[in-house]
Chain A
Amino acid sequence: MNWVNAVVQGILLGGLYALFATGLSILFGVVRVVNLAHGDFAVLAAYLALVVVTTTHLHPLLTLLIVVPLFGVLGYFGQRLVIQKSLDVSPVTTLLVSFGLSVVIQNALLVAFSADSHSFDVGHLISASVQVTPQLSIAVVSVMIFLSAVLLLIGLQLFLSGTALGRQIRASADDQEAARIAGVDTHHVFGIAAAIAFASVAIAGVALGIYSSFDPSAGPPRLIYAFEAVIIGGVGSLWGTLVGGIVLGVAQTLGSQIDPSSGVLAGHLVFLALLALRPQGLVRARLAA
């Protein structure tokens, strides 16, 4: 029965990874940028939420109302002022600039908040769980995070396929030049895509703080898990990120079940095995983003 528990927990953990992976997937799918500071921005969002909680005593979930729009704005202007500028130099420059920012954010957080780890106090919610069978209990928080990943993906799907702006984003992702000829302001569209990516990163950061804990160096592992979820699921597929996240989460919890210290390693090995056997990913890309 412990195995069933491990699989269920792994699936729910996959929701958290999908939250992280969505932003990475969108930014790469539309703007062709791999943001190596992705995980660090999530941790930055978590610290921002922490500051809001300690100063205003808001409920951690309510900080989303502040942090998410703020990160959306940060994403839009970050794209237009920094990412676009470095993209004009070369794609390699963008990658390296994001890596530099990753180191800067980590160390700035270290200076500002010390290396202590933090988590959000969500009151009775953290211990609330549903006892399915004697061996299997499902934490309400995990389910909420999983459902928010699903809702985010449904929302994005509807936005990209159903709205004019969504179509412009898909067009720009497909062929930037052609979209521009057709009258799309691609720089603005890229800014919107980056805003969505950063807003989702902020949600992921707060979710991380509720689900477990964060410290200044928590970013890089989240980036790696998000990346593995994207590649496992298939580059360019939105729902693939959820599938990839679930595969990675189950691999990690099953790995820990076999040997408590090798969960992360098991996740990496499953990723490398799938990269060797199925480099195109598990889910075929249909949307550009």
Chain B
Amino acid sequence: MAKDAEQKAVTQGSIRVTRSRRPAWWGVIGAAILLALLATLPFVVYADVTDALVNVFILLVVASMWNLLAGYCGLISVGQQAYIGSGAYTVLILAQNGINPFVAIPAAILVSAILSIPVSFLVFRLRAEYFAIGTWVVGEVFFLGVARFKSLGGGTGRALPGLALMDPALRGAITYWSALVVTAAALLGTYLLLRSRMGLDLTAIRDNELAARSVGVRVSTAQRVVYVVSAAGCGAAGAIIIISQLNVLASAIFSVNWSAKMIFISLIGGLGTIEGPILGTAIYFAIQQTLAQVGAWYLILLGLLAVVIAMYLPRGLWGAISSRLHLQVFPVGYWLHNSPAPRSIPSPSGGGQGGGQ
């Protein structure tokens, strides 16, 4: 797609408009090769590697979904675990009724998305700052509601039926591929959403909500669409979580710790870019693996790191990298080129280069 846009570069007068400063086709080819390589992994490496990667993919999906909400709409949610949990419990309920958990993943996405629509009308009544705690309350209500049902495990947790007889190696491989597909779809979906007309609206909201509103951007519609998309992605992640763990505990799946993970990953990597959560997930996972033995310390360290980065590098590590190197893997903004002169200037209206100006 990047290549298409590159070729469809608009020529107006002597100014050429492209999606990125440098040709972006290498990004598409690189992503395709990476995806193909990742897809062959279950044949090449031991299950512990793919199992670890499933956890990385889950973190990447939820962080990307949170970042879509926070980085582009300015909506800070501390309650996305509501949709992670509803995705997981949708898979559980369907599996209890004899439906294969892998087949139930699309249903999990759908249920989370549908649940988020009435919730959005409620929480959108709260001003930006109180929206965070309002969504947190919603997460708690989902948790307390689910915990009341004995058939769903109440407060003690429930095993996922339907996969026990499956060969563990095959189950692990299909789980891994499902996680890979969900991750690729989440990133591609985010990318396409941001390149669409609505993406332009979202970029405008990110840079200045009031100004966006005044030039006719339908802010609340765009925000509601993103809220539903984000819930759908979190539902998919929840489905992968219950399938990879083979059981679900309400207090764990609805834990606000999920929000902490999403927030820290996005802050460290960089808010408002697609690449940020990818880099953030890598850093988060590395720190978690290194310091997991010393218990609570890794959360202290990650929290402090996120706080310092938020205060001194507001665009995160990826923002710092891309603004220096003009590097973009997922070009969603516009560049204006003065042709024939090869000089390029950043577009004042696109605002997409490395996370905006």
Contact = CB atoms under 8 A, between A and B. Distances in A.
Interface of A: 28, 32-34, 36, 82, 85-86, 89-93, 95-97, 99-101, 103-104, 107-108, 110-111, 220, 223-224, 227-228, 231, 235, 261-262, 264-265, 268-269, 271-272, 275-276, 279
Interface in B246-302: 256, 259-260, 263-264, 267, 295-297, 299-300, 302
Contact of A224 (B127, B140, B264, B307): B140
Contact of B307 (A33, A104, A108, A231): A104
Nearest to A231: B130
A265 B137 contact: no
B137 A268 contact: yes
Contact of A262 (B129, B137, B148): B148
B306 interface: yes
Contacts of B307: 97, 100-101, 104
A32 B327 CA distance: 36
Interface stretch (B57-65, B70-78, B173-181): B70-78
Contact of B311 (A32, A85, A91, A231): A85
A34 B129 CA distance: 6
B145 interface: yes
Nearest to A217: B256
B125 to A, nearest CB: 5
Interface string B128-158: 1110111011101100110010000000000
The A interface, classified by DSSP as helix, strand, loop or mixed, is helix
Contact of B263 (A89, A96, A262): A96
A265 B145 contact: yes
Given A100-B303, A265-B141, A272-B141, A93 B78 contact: no
A264 B144 contact: yes
27 contacts: A28-B130, A82-B311, A91-B128, A92-B70, A93-B314, A96-B76, A97-B310, A99-B132, A99-B260, A100-B267, A100-B304, A103-B303, A104-B303, A107-B303, A108-B300, A110-B296, A111-B296, A111-B297, A223-B133, A224-B133, A265-B144, A265-B148, A268-B140, A268-B144, A275-B122, A275-B126, A275-B134
Contact of A111 (B133, B256, B295): B295
Contacts of B264: 100, 103
A262 B130 CA distance: 24
Contacts of A95: 76, 129, 132
Contacts of B297: 107, 111
A100 B306 contact: yes
Given A100-B303, A265-B145, A32 B137 contact: no
A210 B194 CA distance: 52
A111 B145 CA distance: 32
For the complex of A and B, 6 pairs with smallest distance between CB atoms:
A104-B303, A107-B296, A100-B307, A34-B129, A265-B144, A227-B133
Contacts of B144: 262, 264-265, 268
Contacts of A100: 263-264, 267, 303-304, 306-307, 310
Contacts of A36: 78, 132-133
Given A92-B76, A262-B148, A32 B129 contact: yes
Given A100-B264, A261-B148, A268-B137, 10 more contacts: A34-B133, A36-B133, A91-B128, A93-B310, A111-B296, A227-B130, A228-B137, A262-B148, A269-B141, A276-B125
A110 to B, nearest CB: 5
A88 to B, nearest CB: 9
Contacts of A101: 303, 307
A32 B129 CA distance: 8
Contacts of B130: 28, 34, 227, 231, 235
The B interface, classified by DSSP as helix, strand, loop or mixed, is helix
Given A111-B300, A275-B122, A91 B129 contact: yes
A85 to B, nearest CB: 6
A93 B273 CA distance: 16
Interface residues of B, number: 41
A260 to B, nearest CB: 12
Contact of B310 (A33, A86, A103, A272): A86
Contacts of B296: 107-108, 110-111
B299 A103 contact: yes
Contacts of B310: 86, 89, 93, 96-97, 100
A100 B132 CA distance: 13
A103 B132 contact: no
A44 to B, nearest CB: 14
Name the residue in B126, B130, B259 with the highest tally of chain A Cβ atoms < 10 Å from its Cβ. Answer: B130
A276 B76 CA distance: 20
Contacts of A269: 141
A45 B217 CA distance: 46
A22 to B, nearest CB: 16
Nearest to B261: A103
A72 B247 CA distance: 46
B127 to A, nearest CB: 8
A86 B133 contact: no
Contacts of B122: 272, 275-276
A145 to B, nearest CB: 23
A89 B141 contact: no
Contacts of A93: 310-311, 314
Contacts of A220: 136, 256
Contacts of A103: 260, 264, 299-300, 302-303
A179 B263 CA distance: 35
Name the residue in B122, B129, B256, B264 with the highest tally of chain A Cβ atoms < 10 Å from its Cβ. Answer: B129
Contacts of A86: 310-311
A275 B125 CA distance: 8
B194 to A, nearest CB: 19
Name the residue in B126, B260, B311 with the highest tally of chain A Cβ atoms < 10 Å from its Cβ. Answer: B311
